[in-house]
Structure 1
Amino acid sequence: MCARAGLNDRYFRESFADRDTLLAAAWDQVRQETTATVATILADLVDTPPLAVLHRVIEAVVVNFADDPRRAPVLFGDHAGCAILERRRHDLILVATEVLATGMAPHLRTGRDRDLFRGSVLMAVGGFVELATAWRVGLVATDAMGIIDQTTHFGTVLVDYYLEGEH
């Protein structure tokens, strides 16, 4: 691995305890950049209807992955056998779910169950990750706009059922 990258083994060992530590550092960097982009959008669109915010977030993430195809496999790749990355991927899905569910909770329709809402958001986030993964490996024949449209459509279904007010 070091020879292919043109690095001296000593430099690798000085920076990383092992391969998993290197992978975790790369994963953390991509996650940090992606979440910073999402946080900026959320802050900029605080008074925007939830569906428009969702569309903008999905668009930013998908376009970012389309512009640099190396990023999606880092966050959404099949990390079987690497416990540290499996845990990070799982935690990312839970954190994204919490951010979306908490951010949209003030708009929840009267009488809608918060736990069912949170579960639906978790399914949506997990579904987005799986859709993006399938697209990345060529199992879904569409472009970035198609992924954005599909995800936004599903968000519309959830928003119409769970949320009040202007969407």
Structure 2
Amino acid sequence: MPDEDAPPTRTVKPSRWAGIPADERTRDRRVLLIAAAFDLFGTEGDAATSVRAVCRSADLNARYFYESFVDRDELLGAVYDEVAVELADRLGTALLAAPDSPAARTRAGIDTVLRFITDDPRRARVLFTEGRGNPVLADRRRVARQALVEGTAAMGQEELGRRSAAASASAAAVAATLFGGAMEELAEAWTDGRLGDDLDQVIDDATELSLAIFERARTLGHH
């Protein structure tokens, strides 16, 4: 018979990290923190994404935060980088798969960006809406935009060279800068609901107007 006077047996719950090597634990916790920050930042915004809130959402002790990140800014930078890299990968794939024509490549680029942020509005908030006052994210946005401009300029210069030997690198660079700024504003306007709800029409219109910019750049080479 069991001893009724014996103290109750305590059941020890195994650690969620039991049996996992230390470096894998750190990596897994980093992934959890980034995912939690992405969700908070992308739904509730910058002000709601505190270290405490992120740790609570990830169900992690705050001490685990500092094994991966120096501070909140570093975490938000990691969130931004993850979303930006995913978008860049999709853009690269879409442009490689597109037919070899300026219209097809331009449409593929615009379509990819707008559908990427439409499929998950949190992405739009991370990339285009939140963090304007955060220097870390502002710097990353400038770098991402410059990469878009440089890539577009190179593509535009190649296309202009096919059509006109007189086409200038300056015209392609200016057109690319206009396109880069326009794409950022287009993404924000679509996210904010200022362009209606017909995504296909927005993509059609944006493609035609973007092509008009590069067509005009081509004719500038003859002046």
Report the TM-score when normalising by structure 2: 0.66
1 CA distance for matches of 2:193 and 2:110?
19
Unaligned stretches of 5+ residues in structure 1: none
Using CA pairs below 8 Å that are at least 6 residues apart, which structure has the higher relative contact order? 1
Would you identify which runs of 4 or more consecutive aligned residues in structure 1 move more than 4 Å? Answer: none
Unaligned stretches of 5+ residues in structure 2: 1-52
Matched residues, number:
163
Pairing partner for 1:94 from 132, 142, 146: 146
Pairing partner for 1:52 from 84, 104, 113: 104
Q: Indicate conservation of the 8 Å contact 2:95/2:108, yes or no.
A: no
Deviation at 1:101, TM superposition (A): 1.1
Cα-to-partner distance string for 1:59-86 (whole Å, 9 max, x where unaligned): 1121111111111111112423211110
Q: CA RMSD in A?
A: 1.9
Q: Indicate conservation of the 8 Å contact 2:153/2:172, yes or no.
A: yes
Cα-to-partner distance string for 1:38-74 (whole Å, 9 max, x where unaligned): 11222333x6101111101211121111111111111
Deviation at 1:23, TM superposition (A): 0.6
- The structure having more radius of gyration, on CA atoms, is 2
1:62-101 matched pairs, under 5 angstroms = 62-101=114-153
Q: Indicate conservation of the 8 Å contact 1:101/1:117, yes or no.
A: yes
Name 1:112's counterpart in structure 2: 167
Q: Equivalent pairs: percent with the same residue? A: 32
Letter in 1 for 2:203: I
Pairing partner for 2:182 from 127, 135, 145: 127
Task: Call closer, same or farther: CA 1:114–1:20 in 2, change over 3 Å.
Answer: same
Letter in 2 for 1:122: T
